[in-house]
Amino acid sequence: MTSETTSPALDQDVQLEMLRAMHEIRFFEDACHRLFASGAVRGTTHLCQGQEAVNVGALHALRADDQMTCTYRGHGAVLAKGVALDRSFGEILGKADGLCGGKGGSMHLTDVARGALGSFAIVGGHLPVSVGVAFAARYRGTDEISVCFFGDGSTNIGAFHESLNLASVWRLPVLFVCENNLYGEYSPLHTTTPIEVLADRAAAYGMPGVRIDGNDVLEVHATVTAAAARARAGEGPTLIEAMTYRQKGHSRADPAKYRPDGELEAWLARDPIVLHERALAADGVAQEQLDAIRAAAERAVEEALERAQSWSEPAVETRLEHVWA
Amino acid sequence: MTSETTSPALDQDVQLEMLRAMHEIRFFEDACHRLFASGAVRGTTHLCQGQEAVNVGALHALRADDQMTCTYRGHGAVLAKGVALDRSFGEILGKADGLCGGKGGSMHLTDVARGALGSFAIVGGHLPVSVGVAFAARYRGTDEISVCFFGDGSTNIGAFHESLNLASVWRLPVLFVCENNLYGEYSPLHTTTPIEVLADRAAAYGMPGVRIDGNDVLEVHATVTAAAARARAGEGPTLIEAMTYRQKGHSRADPAKYRPDGELEAWLARDPIVLHERALAADGVAQEQLDAIRAAAERAVEEALERAQSWSEPAVETRLEHVWA
Amino acid sequence: MTVVTYRQAITRGIADALSADDDVFLFGEDVARAGGAFKTTDGIWEQFGDARVLDTPISEQAIVGTAIGAAIRGLRPLAEVMFADFAAVCFDGIVNELAKYRYMTGGQVTCPVTIHMANGAGTGFGAQHSQPAENWFLNTPGLKVVVPATVTDAYALMRAAVEDDDPVLYFEHKGLFGMRGELPDDVPRVELGVAETVRSGEHVTVVATQQMRHRALAAAEQLAEEGVEVELIDPRTLVPFDHATVRASLERTNRLLVVQEGSAGGSWGGTLITHVLQEGFELLDAPPLLVCSDETPVPYAGPLEAAWLPTVERIADAIRRTARY
Amino acid sequence: MTVVTYRQAITRGIADALSADDDVFLFGEDVARAGGAFKTTDGIWEQFGDARVLDTPISEQAIVGTAIGAAIRGLRPLAEVMFADFAAVCFDGIVNELAKYRYMTGGQVTCPVTIHMANGAGTGFGAQHSQPAENWFLNTPGLKVVVPATVTDAYALMRAAVEDDDPVLYFEHKGLFGMRGELPDDVPRVELGVAETVRSGEHVTVVATQQMRHRALAAAEQLAEEGVEVELIDPRTLVPFDHATVRASLERTNRLLVVQEGSAGGSWGGTLITHVLQEGFELLDAPPLLVCSDETPVPYAGPLEAAWLPTVERIADAIRRTARY
Ligand SMILES: Cc1ncc(C[n+]2csc(CCOP(=O)(O)OP(=O)(O)O)c2C)c(N)n1
Ligand SMILES: Cc1ncc(C[n+]2csc(CCOP(=O)(O)OP(=O)(O)O)c2C)c(N)n1
Ligand SMILES: [Mg+2]
Ligand SMILES: [Mg+2]
């Protein structure tokens, strides 16, 4: 399977919607960065500035009833699935009206009603879960798809291997979307992985694998559209390696000193939002409209944060709820 | 890397020694089969009749100071490493003078003094151990090699993935020898594995992979010789898939009813011992000499079993020893 | 009313669970065509077919994760992990994902997953295939733990486990597979968390599960001849635990003895004794003794393994000490 | 004599362990160039270089297995598993291979492996990054378990762990990383299995580890003002456990209180109480109370997590109840 950049141009409304979605994620993550940097929130957070096109391109190519799992670096994926900004902030702030009532936190944003089935904090932990989600879809005779986001470093953990193998033997409708941001924590991929192109690992599972430009939201959209069609047709899973870049450090504590000079700058020049705005402008979208979309997203995020900050903390008794059904 | 059947013909003494070793294993396993079938031993056992050429060809291509790990189906590998027949029987019989003093049993034959570092009963459990053994060899500046035997079904477990990946990143001297006997327990490989050639999984780790005829002891010997040279030269690990066949059931309880008609017969016609005897005869070795080797092996196994049966059981207090150093 | 083995009762429980609810499916290694490594799923595949009874690769992490993913999408997965010892291979999936998923998401998901596994020592399988693994899971809130000791409980608790909306670990004891007992055509329901008073007596309360329940009963009958009447309680589920039944018994006997297979550290027996003391210290006229295994792995040789397990004699002595105190 | 943090004491312990013995090597995820996710290995790589300080892929199963393999070949591996929660991912390697290897082979191998991990709750990391994971390992004979609470113990126990010839799980508590204390230039040795009597008193014996030791001390000082003198014991290692020191104390106080982070089931606190009762029932004039966490996963939101952990107030109340009983 090869990447599908040559597919028919996407309806411009969808393209503009994807721009809005990417802005929203960017502003959300920038706000999180401030919240944690200022010490307003304890614990840690893992931000995805620079990777927005992967989540947005993929999830806008799928249906609302498709099911998504992701990692601790999952704010972008969760928001791209249509989850409310304020309840997402609320969870990170540990508020009673946060998505999980404050029990989950930044690494576990979940909104099952929106098909955001969970953010998992153990590397590899959700890959087999995504296989089960796909199994259930087929068992129940729906044509829903399971999409699973994970990082480059996660391809070295055992659960990755077992999950892709089983998904392939059972020809399940799962899209394994690897966000290759070049690092696992502080380690560049080549120090932990003996091959360059992770998509090549798909061959070990008799599964198509494709590496694409994860900063090109249209290429992501086209690739996922094709893989989804394949999956819905019962032809099984696909491994998609989306090349992208983590513009911030791994987590709150990480200044990312380990980056080679110029690397960040080069990737900032290929910022997915900038690229998409440029493409839209080239398609004749007026700068005013682009700016308006950006401003609206910024406002929406600010207002959502203010709302969430105004919410109350959970009552201590609630900690005893939800252990059992 | 391709298989090395074209390497210079092997010294005939070595070839005869390998025949003796295969006979010894075959008689040993046949004896185990009788012991368990007759109920003389509790628990279970996993026999390797039909797979002798893999263990013998590989370990005769390596040095005495090379280090070996294997599975519960490890009697052949352990004996091929030069471990005493009687102490091996003794362990299976749970005798005080068994290899492990009766604490291990059929699935855990171990003789560290002979470089038989352990037989592991958890699928995949020993693969990372074999990586550590290779790491120690390099750390200590020796040119010892670590060889690890495992089955086809084991290539679907997470530890396989993590172990081959790490061994390759660190370019460690490990030989991963997959004994592809077509089944994992009662399941034919194709029901659990989406690809046909397991050696192809090596590509996911940037490691050479080769599939060979595991019933041709000379081909195994030649392949392992080449891979070992590579490993000793610091060029890293190799995955070798040796095609072979388990002539008996998976374990004591298994009559192997699930085999397609004719499969066993076809493989019996390619019995590794028969093939090797034929090759030696073709090289001019007299039938009398071949028969003498067989008879000597049979006698050696019988006598070893008698000795082991005469040994006493461990004193119950010994169960409290060897928990701590 | 028919006489069946413990093994057959499990099989009938599984079959009836599949009949009762189309959302129930059974999967694991060799559970379908082969009918299970312990033949506990014999005939299930023939009855329910490929869609609902599936063989998997040797991938326990994938098995558990798949169960979780299917469960949160509305199915009732019944997974087999062959030997309970292998739960170690998928421990993350069980304790970090399955047990916490509902809690971390603030109750957004339920995980009606049942994992059944063959547990315990006494059958000569060696240290890696003989552990009473239930004790690994006691410090992980969110998991229910079931330990049937009789034919009727094996059936009824399987039904209750599958019908339960929380994760349930169902441990079937290898040493009991061949035990026969009467199974009514219409087996009365058993709720999780309800103990059985196996025998009434006013002198000493003995709590025991699985193999040890039967040994404790034998000991109790010996003691009866000596005029000591034991009240024997089998909790049947360790989580939730029926503390009320134990307390009611202690109010009459004022003496507690817990008999368990397995060492003391981190065990259910120690957990029970500690719990009793928090509210029931005044009830006790004698030290609450724990009869358990040595602090060693399970040895292989027959006499060693026999000595590792509490014997009827040891239990009887402990009852005497407690009664006389 | 210098004042350092608990974190720095760990680092110095690691550095001195590497200096003292060339067979010691340090490896794990981001332990080398990055100095560790918690900076506990900061500067070690700069000092000892690539050969002895190695970054690994995200492959905990490979990490543990590699440690085992290297250990049986004469090295002293010091492995880092970042968060103790991740020990679940390599649980098989720890409990089925590492803990049993020496025993199963009848003492043929020793496994001087140290695994250090960041443990415990209170820092807002959520349910999958906050568990007191030491309780997972108590029912697995063959593992030593170390839980330092002070700067000097963090150092001395790291040295003792690495020098020990048995597998040692070294749990450093995340909540203590920033705690400062004096570290002598020549830190006195601390043997594994030797408790520290933190405070002497004749009324109640309190046993606590890590964070809880410090809270128990604060509570003890409150109680002193009320005329209740607490004897506070920090066992420092859970396996082996210094039962003699606890018993000697109980002979004077006749009252026991155990304070632990984490729920009661399968915990070290319950194990201790049960052990005391086997021989020491007569010593107790009051119920041996266990102050512990609720039977829930660790919640994220600040107030919920704070309520999950035993507070100084709860501890003080329990001491009062015990003293007054
Ligand atoms: C089993 C496990 N090991 C280690 C970690 C610690 N950890 C958290 S994120 C991370 C790096 C993951 O890298 P990658 O998969 O590339 O995802 P990214 O963070 O780059 O999005 C690590 C090692 C973990 N959470 N789980
Ligand atoms: C983790 C784990 N899962 C399952 C098993 C049970 N089991 C023992 S052998 C075996 C089949 C292994 O097949 P393969 O790797 O092909 O080796 P073979 O037995 O054919 O030599 C299985 C599933 C196990 N021992 N460990
Ligand atoms: Mg990454
Ligand atoms: Mg096989």
| Catalytic pick among D80, D116, D129, D134 | D129
Region of A94 (left: φ > 0; alpha: ψ -120 to 50; beta: rest) is left
- Residues enclosing ligand 2, CB less than 6 A? B 73, 121-123, 150-154, 179, 181, 183-185, 246, 250; C 29, 58, 60, 82, 86, 89
**Beta carbons of B102 and C307 less than 8 Å apart:** no
Active site residue C134: no
Instruction: Give the pLDDT band of residue D247 (cuts 50, 70, 90).
Output: very high
Q: What is the pLDDT of residues C190-200, one digit of tens each?
A: 999 999 999 99
DSSP state string for D248-304: HHHHHH--EEEE-SS-STT-HHHHHHHHHHHHHGGG-SS--EEE---SSPPP-SHHH
**Beta carbons of D139 and C135 less than 8 Å apart:** yes
Mind spelling out the 3-state secondary structure of B246-297? CCCCCCCCCCCCCCCCCHHHHHHHCCHHHHHHHHHHHCCCCHHHHHHHHHHH
User: Residue C33's pLDDT is what?
Assistant: 96
Q: Where are the beta strands (DSSP E) in chain A?
A: 67-71, 116-120, 146-151, 174-180, 183-184, 187-188, 209-213, 238-243
- In contact, A129 and A122? CB cutoff 8 Å: no
User: Residue A9's pLDDT is what?
Assistant: 83
Atom of ligand 2 nearest to the CA of B155: 15
When CB atoms are compared, the residue of B136, B137, B166 closest to D59 is B166
Q: What is the Cα–Cα distance from D129 to B120, expressed in whole angstroms? A: 31
**Contacting residues for C28 by C-beta, under 8 A, at least 6 apart:** C36, C41, C55, C56, C63, C79, C80, C81, C82
Nearest in space to D14 (alpha carbons), one of D158, D137, D196, D171: D158
Which residue on chain A is closest to D122 by alpha carbon? A43
User: Residue C1's pLDDT is what?
Assistant: 73
User: Residue B59's pLDDT is what?
Assistant: 98
**Average pLDDT along chain D:** 98
Q: What is the pLDDT of residues C249-304, one digit of tens each?
A: 999 999 999 999 999 999 999 999 999 999 999 999 999 999 999 999 999 999 99
Instruction: Kindly give the distance from the C-alpha atom of residue B188 to the centroid of ligand 4, in angstroms, as a whole number.
Output: 8
Tell me the average pLDDT across B92-103: 98
Q: What is the Cα–Cα distance from D325 to D323, expressed in whole angstroms? A: 6
Tell me the average pLDDT across B297-307: 98
Measured distance between the N- and C-terminal CA atoms of chain A, rounded to whole angstroms: 43
Instruction: Kindly give the distance from the C-alpha atom of residue B189 to the centroid of ligand 4, in angstroms, as a whole number.
Output: 8
When CB atoms are compared, the residue of A124, A158, A320 closest to D294 is A320
User: Residue B224's pLDDT is what?
Assistant: 98
Best mutation site among C27, C33, C58 for ligand 2 pocket (most ligand atoms within 8 Å of CB): C58
User: Which range, of A252-256, B102-106, C98-102, D313-317, averages the lowest pLDDT?
Assistant: A252-256
Please give the share of chain B, as a percent, with pLDDT higher than 70. 98
Cβ neighbours around A233 below 10 Å, total = 10
User: Residue B2's pLDDT is what?
Assistant: 42
- Residues enclosing ligand 1, CB less than 6 A? A 73, 121-123, 150-154, 179, 181, 183-185, 246, 250; D 29, 58, 60, 82, 86, 89
Q: What is the Cα–Cα distance from B313 to C303, expressed in whole angstroms? A: 8
Q: How many contacts (CB atoms, under 8 Å) link A and D? A: 116
**Beta carbons of B258 and C34 less than 8 Å apart:** yes
* Per-window interface: A 183-212 vs B, CB < 8 A: 191-195, 200-201, 203-207
Which residue on chain A is closest to B195 by alpha carbon? A206
Active site residue D226: no
Q: What is the Cα–Cα distance from A136 to D315, expressed in whole angstroms? A: 47
Which residue on chain A is closest to D38 by alpha carbon? A253
**Beta carbons of D301 and A185 less than 8 Å apart:** no
Tell me the average pLDDT across C211-240: 98
User: Residue B9's pLDDT is what?
Assistant: 83
- In contact, D26 and D14? CB cutoff 8 Å: yes
User: Residue A7's pLDDT is what?
Assistant: 55
Q: What is the Cα–Cα distance from D114 to D77, expressed in whole angstroms? A: 6
Q: What is the pLDDT of residues D10-59, one digit of tens each?
A: 999 999 999 999 999 999 999 999 999 999 999 999 999 999 999 999 99
Instruction: Kindly give the distance from the C-alpha atom of residue A234 to the centroid of ligand 4, in angstroms, as a whole number.
Output: 29
**Average pLDDT along chain B:** 96
pLDDT at C171 over 60: yes
Q: What is the Cα–Cα distance from B135 to B174, expressed in whole angstroms? A: 9
Residue A122, helix vs strand vs coil: coil
On whether any CB of chain A is under 8 Å from the CB of D126, the answer is: yes
**Contacting residues for A39 by C-beta, under 8 A, at least 6 apart:** none
**Beta carbons of B132 and D105 less than 8 Å apart:** no
The residue ranges of chain A whose pLDDT is under 70 are 1-8
Residue type, D74: G
Tell me the average pLDDT across B211-239: 98
On whether any CB of chain C is under 8 Å from the CB of B129, the answer is: no
User: Residue C207's pLDDT is what?
Assistant: 99
Q: What is the Cα–Cα distance from D309 to A319, expressed in whole angstroms? A: 12
pLDDT at D221 over 90: yes
Tell me the average pLDDT across B307-321: 98
- In contact, B73 and B82? CB cutoff 8 Å: no
On whether any CB of chain C is under 8 Å from the CB of A313, the answer is: no
- In contact, B250 and B182? CB cutoff 8 Å: no
Tell me the nearest-neighbour CA distance from A286 into chain D, angstroms: 44
pLDDT at D280 over 90: yes
Tell me the nearest-neighbour CA distance from B47 into chain C, angstroms: 15
**Beta carbons of C304 and B41 less than 8 Å apart:** no
Q: What is the pLDDT of residues C12-57, one digit of tens each?
A: 999 999 999 999 999 999 999 999 999 999 999 999 999 999 999 9
On whether any CB of chain B is under 8 Å from the CB of C123, the answer is: yes
Residue D184, helix vs strand vs coil: coil
Tell me the nearest-neighbour CA distance from A236 into chain B, angstroms: 11
Tell me the average pLDDT across D230-243: 98
- In contact, D108 and B118? CB cutoff 8 Å: no
pLDDT at B163 over 70: yes
Q: What is the Cα–Cα distance from A155 to D58, expressed in whole angstroms? A: 8
pLDDT at B3 over 80: no
Atom of ligand 2 nearest to the CA of B154: 15
Tell me the average pLDDT across B35-54: 95
When CB atoms are compared, the residue of D58, D61, D124 closest to A153 is D58
pLDDT at B4 over 90: no
Q: Give chain C's radius of gyration (CA, Å).
A: 19
Q: Give chain D's radius of gyration (CA, Å).
A: 19
* Per-window interface: D 1-40 vs B, CB < 8 A: 25
